[in-house]
Amino acid sequence: MATELKANGKPFVHYHAAHCESGVTSALLRDKGMDISEPMVFGIGSGIFFGYLPFMKMTGLPISTFRAAPGSIFHKTAKRLGAEFVTKKFRNPQKGMDELKQVLKTGQIVGMTTNMYWLPYLSERFRWNFLGHNIIALRETDGVFRISDSMLEHPIDCPVADLERARFAPGPANPHGYMYYLKSVNPRPDLRNASIKGMKSTCFMMLNIPMPIFGVRGMRFLAKKVIKSPDKLGFDEACRQLVGLIRWVEEVGTGGGGFRYMYAAFLQEAAQLFGSGELADLSKEMNAIGDSWRAFSVTAARIVKQRNKEKETFAKAGGLMLICAGREENFFKDLGKVVGKLKT
Amino acid sequence: MDFEDEIFSDGLPKVYYKHDDQGRYVLETDAPWAEKVTCALIIAGNRANLEEIRKAVLAGQKSPLCYYMELRQMDPVMLAKAAGIATFRVKRHLRPEIFAKLKPSVLDRYSKALRIPLEELKTVPNR
């Protein structure tokens, strides 16, 4: 937690958050006077997801994402809480930077989507071409932007040239300088209705999307691929793919396992909000699912490190993933039933 | 100090939601073991790969463009989009004999896309 001044001289409180986008969204909402926690935003915005995209590659490795598409958490949360917001994309980088400066001058704080590689303040372990990192710009003085990156403990400085490059990083999934800010928020938001909407759409995304690469079916698809990978690709290449997968499970955002814990935190808050014992039980189950994702990543890391070769095999890792998929399927079916009974 | 701990002691801790004894969720800064291992593996892999390419460039098998592309963690498709040059041309330019004959205007595009000064783009660091 650190306090920082905005362009109009009013204070902004920076919180350390686990995930960039839900952290940014909750910071934007808090700045407008709505007291909302990060897990709540994550739940209302239906942040939890699974998708395996073998045709979209980042540095040669397929994407397996554990959260919804970048930008959607903010969009959905703001809509469901009845806030007015503005989103913009630009073709011309110069226009994008001018617009940002102008909006900042009015005392707004602005969320932006950037490429992590070009942010100069991050250290080597963060620096790779990931094009969905969200940050907030607070103010601009003499060609230096003050940035509140919710992944870090304190606000930080970033030069204009680097920020421009990060916002307009060419390549697949170019963010095109995507920026968003809130115009006003509903003074009395309907949290209960919003949570129900969020949970319902999460259940749909995890269970009912009619494509085999999304949701629970996507997990099974990927698990089968992991089991077959050493025979198909050879041990070295399979390990390379597995390292890429563990990166998605453990590191990106807050990692697949981490997202499960955050969702459990959301369910706990929702249980208090509705006074529902069933949601509290589901929160515990979600926590256990997070633990089983972590068990999967530990097994996978042991395979790559070649420790205890007889026991730690690709079949075991794939099996653990299938277990996760089965548990999540049951979980979201139960959640769907519980949500149906809740009253706004 | 292990390599894993070394790259994680950069003063930029991430936080994770954890369940504490009283059943509440609290934020902690301990990175999970698997994350440390993968991060270390990926960074070590990148560095080794880069070193290999640097030696290949010095031996005249690859062009310096290949080295800088790898340094920026790009692939030919991404670099092609960034520089506004067709992918097949970028792939040709990875060959040293073709790279040596490039016009300054083309080199200029690469230097802008990769954020490498024009003079540096023609050579690789000789450590």
Residues A195 and A145 occupy one common structural domain: no
**Which of A151, A184, A217 corresponds to the end of one domain?**
A184
From the CA of B27, how many Å to the nearest CA of chain A? 8
Q: How far is B18 from chain A (nearest CA, A)?
A: 7
- Judged by a CB distance cut-off of 8 A, whether residue A297 touches chain B is yes
Q: Is A17 part of any domain?
A: yes
Q: Do A123 and B74 touch (CB under 8 A)?
A: no
What pLDDT score was predicted for residue A108? 87
Is A66 part of a structural domain of the chain? Answer: no
- The answer to whether residue A131 is domain-embedded is yes
Both A97 and A139 in a single domain?
yes
A170 shares its domain with A201? no
Decide if A129 and B74 are in contact by the 8 Å CB cutoff: yes
What residue numbers bound the domain in which B39 lies?
A: 3-121
In a domain, residue B126? The reply is no
**Residue A63 corresponds to which tokens in the numbers above?**
């994407």
Q: Between vectors from CA A267 to CA A63 and to CA A298, what angle results, nearest 5°? A: 45
Domain finish residue from A184, A205, A224: A184
Alpha-carbon distance A177 to nearest alpha carbon in chain B (angstroms): 15
- Does A129 sit within 8 Å of B10, measured CB to CB? no
pLDDT tens, residue by residue, B81-97: 888 899 999 999 999 99
**Domain co-membership, A112 together with A178:** yes
Lowest mean pLDDT among A69-73, A145-149, A315-319, B115-119: A69-73
| Residues A99, A163 contacting (CB under 8 angstroms) | no
- A154 shares a domain with A6: yes
Of B8, B43, B81, the CB nearest to A171: B81
Exposure of A215 in the CB half-sphere (CA atoms within 13 A)? 19
Whether A58 maps to a domain, the answer reads no
Identify all chain B residues contacting A236, using CB atoms and an 8 Å cutoff: none
The CATH number of the domain where B73 resides is what? 1.10.260
Mutation pick from B5, B17, B19 vs chain A, by most beta carbons of A within 10 Å, is B17
Residue in B12, B23, B72 nearest the CB of A123? B12
* Residues of A in Cβ contact (< 8 Å) with B42: 128, 243, 247
Please tell me which of the candidates B13, B19, B42 has its beta carbon nearest to residue A243.
Answer: B42
Identify the H or E element spanning A140.
strand A133-141
Residue B33 CB coordination number (10 Å):
15
Domain end, chosen from A134, A167, A184, is at: A184
Burial class (CB in 10 A: 0-12, 13-18, 19+), B95: middle
Asked if A261 lies within 8 A of B17 by C-beta distance, the reply is: yes
- Asked if the structure places residue A108 within a domain, the reply is yes
When pLDDT is averaged across residues A155-167 and rounded to a whole number, the result is 89
Chain B residue numbers with beta carbons less than 8 Å from the beta carbon of A246 are 34-35, 37-38
pLDDT band at B73 (very low <50, low <70, confident <90, very high): confident
- Minimal Cα distance from A301: which residue of B? B34
Q: How far is CA A251 from CA A8, A9, A148, A245, A255, in A?
A: 36, 36, 20, 10, 5
The predicted structure's pLDDT at residue A95: 92
Asked whether residue A147 falls in the same domain as residue A232, the answer is no
Q: Is A17 on the interface with B (CB under 8 A)?
A: yes
pLDDT band at residue A253 using 50, 70 and 90 as cut-offs: low
- For A66-80, the pLDDT digits (tens) are 888 888 888 899 999
CA distance readout (Å), A304 to A59, A291, B73: 19, 20, 22
A151-180 residues touching B, CB cutoff 8 A: 151-153, 165, 169-172, 174
pLDDT of residue A344 exceeding 80: no
Determine, yes or no, domain membership for A55: no
Is residue B127 in a domain? no
Continuous H helices in A132-190:
160-167
Domain that holds residue A109: 2-35+84-184
CATH of residue A134's domain is: 3.90.70
Quote the ipTM score. Answer: 0.83
Q: For A251-270, what is the mean pLDDT?
A: 82
Within its chain, how far is the Cα of A160 from the centroid?
26
Domain count, chain A: 2
Among chain A residues, CA nearest to B74: A59
Confidence of residue A296 (pLDDT cuts 50, 70, 90): confident
- Structural domains counted in chain B: 1
For A15-26, what is the mean pLDDT? 87
- Would you say residue B115 lies in a domain? yes
Condensed to tens digits (0 to 9), the pLDDT of residues A187-232 reads 888 888 899 999 999 999 889 888 888 888 998 999 998 888 888 8
What's the pTM?
A: 0.89
